[in-house]
Amino acid sequence: MFCESQLLSLRADISGKMSPSRLEHTLGVERMAVRLGELYAPEKIPVLVAAALLHDITKENSFQKQLQICDNLGIMVSCDEKNAPKTLHAITASAIIPSEYPDFAVSEILDAVRWHTTGRAGMSICEKLIYLADYIEDTRKFEDCVYLREYFFDADPSKMSMSDRLIHLDRTLLLSFDMTIRQLVDEGSPIHVSTFSARNHLIIDLSGKDSPDNSMFI
Ligand SMILES: [Fe+2]
Ligand SMILES: [Fe+2]
């Protein structure tokens, strides 16, 4: 595993490769990932920090450049991805880590970066935390982001048992997928199939948990 000095180097490197606004967002995701990591998986904080720093490294590339990276690396791009170009940077960011940031090419980081935009069925704890950190980091001011941030923290997860805390995380993610799907429908935009899969999986998972409030998901 990597050490703090490697994370310092990574932070310095990515700082020189993105616009000030993208960097501000990226550092916001890093801060939020640490905050969420403290609640759910303190031992994963170095992994979460690295994934947060790397999650948007190709976001400012053009659509053509994203396709070119996929082509060069032999990655098949689905119709869903071509129709939802905003999701493509998660694929390309994850794909270039092994060659450009080999110290961080571990599956937990690659997967957290890969699935940070669409989610997927059966997300790992690191995938969930990076997905949520990206959505609710403090510099995000969109109405849905503010609402979801308040929904998550106003319930005071630090006072919950770990099992309730995990249910709260899944409920928050479910709400985020609902809001994302609703917004894409309103815009008339395509919705990635992985987002539906992620939502379906959470609903089934939550319906099986023994909690009085879960009746709403059954
Ligand atoms: Fe992103
Ligand atoms: Fe992001």
Split at pLDDT 50, 70, 90, the class of 107 is: very high
Which ligand is closest to the CA of 86, given by its number?
1
Counting ligands in written order, which one lies closest to the CA of residue 113?
A: 1
- Paired tokens of 17: 């490769």
Contact partners, residue 157, CB within 8 Å, separation at least 6: 39, 165, 168, 169
How many whole angstroms from 210 Cα to the centroid of ligand 1? 34
Tell me, in angstroms, the distance from the centre of ligand 1 to residue 42's CA.
23
Residue 42 pLDDT grade (very low, low, confident, very high; cuts 50, 70, 90): very high
Q: Is the pLDDT score of 159 beyond 90?
A: yes
Q: What is the CATH T-level fold of the domain 4-217, as seen in this structure? A: Hypothetical protein af1432 (1.10.3210)
Stated as kind and residue range, the H or E segment containing 93 is helix 88-100
Q: How many angstroms is it from 173 CA to the middle of ligand 2?
A: 16
Tens of pLDDT, residue by residue over 163-201, are 999 999 999 999 999 999 999 999 998 899 999 999 999
HSE of 66, CA atoms in CB hemisphere, 13 A? 22
Judge whether residue 216 has pLDDT over 80. Answer: no
pLDDT at 88: 93
Q: Percent of the chain at pLDDT above 70?
A: 96
Give mean pLDDT, residues 112-131: 98
CA of 54 to the centre of ligand 1 (A): 10
Tell me the average pLDDT across 115-121: 97
Distance 160 CA to ligand 1 centre (A): 30
Nearest to 97 by CA among 36, 157, 51: 51
How many whole angstroms separate alpha carbon 18 and alpha carbon 20?
7
Cα 176 to ligand 2 centroid, rounded to whole Å: 15
Residue 111 Cα to ligand 1 midpoint, Å, equals 13
pLDDT in tens, 55-99: 999 999 999 999 999 999 999 988 878 877 788 999 999 999 999
Q: How far is the CA of 73 from the centre of ligand 2 (A)?
A: 23
Q: How far apart are CA 164 and CA 168, in angstroms?
A: 6
Of the ranges 117-131, 169-183, 204-218, which one carries the lowest mean pLDDT score?
204-218
Residue bearing tokens 């609703």: 182
Statement: the pTM of the whole predicted model exceeds 0.85:
yes
Whether 160 has a pLDDT exceeding 50, the answer reads yes
Closest CA to 1 of 106, 96, 99, 125: 106
Distance CA 128, CA 174 (A): 11
Residue 216 CA to ligand 2 centre (angstroms): 30
- Distance, CA 81 to ligand 1 centroid (Å)? 14
In whole angstroms, what is the distance from residue 52 CA to residue 29 CA? 6
> What spacing in Å lies between the alpha carbon of 25 and ligand 2's midpoint?
7
